Structure 1
Amino acid sequence: MAIELPDHLIALERTAWAEIQAGRLTVDTARAVYEGIAAFAEQAGVGRYDVEMGLKKAVRHPEAEAA
């Protein structure tokens, strides 16, 4: 099942991923991503874990999405 992720959630994860790669992930960024995932999962009626994994795959491995 493919989950249609909202643009704002993808943008949050991109920010977090950039901070992780730079070694400067902040608590505020991590919290924003977590809360965004939880809110979207509840609203969409899907599992939080599924949303989180789909989001990470879309941001960290976009080439897999294109295949």
Structure 2
Amino acid sequence: MADVPENLVELERVAEQERARLAGLAGEEYEAQWRRWRTASEAVRAAIDSHAAETGIGRCELEQSVKQAVRHTEEDPAQ
């Protein structure tokens, strides 16, 4: 498992929280929340890409480590 900086964990946590907020929404509310989730997800991907390029860690390995770190530190916010 790759060493995971706290800022990546926080970005992934925010994206997961935005994803969880999709539950039960429909129509325009769903679309607006989906855009918030997509924006948060894109921020995570960009930060992971940047960190992987800077450190030479494999992008996929880093992404997996970030997701594991978030899921191991708290329960899934979608539940």
TM-score normalised by structure 1 residue count: 0.79
Unaligned residue ranges in structure 1 (runs of 5+): none
Q: Flag the structure with larger Rg.
A: 2
| 1:25-55 Cα distance to aligned partner (Å, 9 max, x none) | 5222111101001001111101111011111
Displaced runs of 4 or more, over 3 A? none
Unaligned residue ranges in structure 2 (runs of 5+): 23-32, 75-79
Superposed CA RMSD:
1.6
Of the three residues 42, 52, 55, the one matched with 2:63 is 52
TM-score normalised by structure 2 residue count: 0.69
Q: Partner residue of 1:17?
A: 16
Number of residue pairs aligned between Structure 1 and Structure 2: 62
Identical residues among aligned pairs (%): 34
The one-letter code matched in structure 1 to 2:15 is A
